[in-house]
Amino acid sequence: MDLKLGLDVSSVLNLACWGVCFWWMHALSKRQETMLQRLQDQAKRIERVASEEHELLKEVHPAVEEIQHEVTHRRRAD
């Protein structure tokens, strides 16, 4: 009788541990999903900012070359 009671208690504890483990893994999974979503949002923002920066540099780049040419020309004149 004591052996059967011990096995029953062990089985109940085993089921309880599985329940706790399942809950714990579910909580970790939710945290990972949240973190993954945040990282994806951050990557999209970085990509957007980089694209805007690239467009600004395309607009400014010819002006920078022109200014450099004028500075070089004036240095030679002095």
CA distances 17 to 3, 40, 56, 63, Å, are: 21, 34, 58, 68
Q: Where does the pLDDT of residue 59 fall: very low under 50, low under 70, confident under 90, or very high at 90 and above?
A: confident
Asked if residue 37 has pLDDT above 90, the reply is: yes
pLDDT at 1: 66
Task: Write down the pTM of the prediction.
Answer: 0.56
Calpha distance 15→7 (Å, rounded): 12
- The pair of structure tokens assigned to 17 is 């541990």
Mean pLDDT for all residues in the chain: 88
Q: Which pair of structure tokens corresponds to residue 55?
A: 């467009």
pLDDT of residue 11: 93
Segment 26-40 shows an average pLDDT of 97
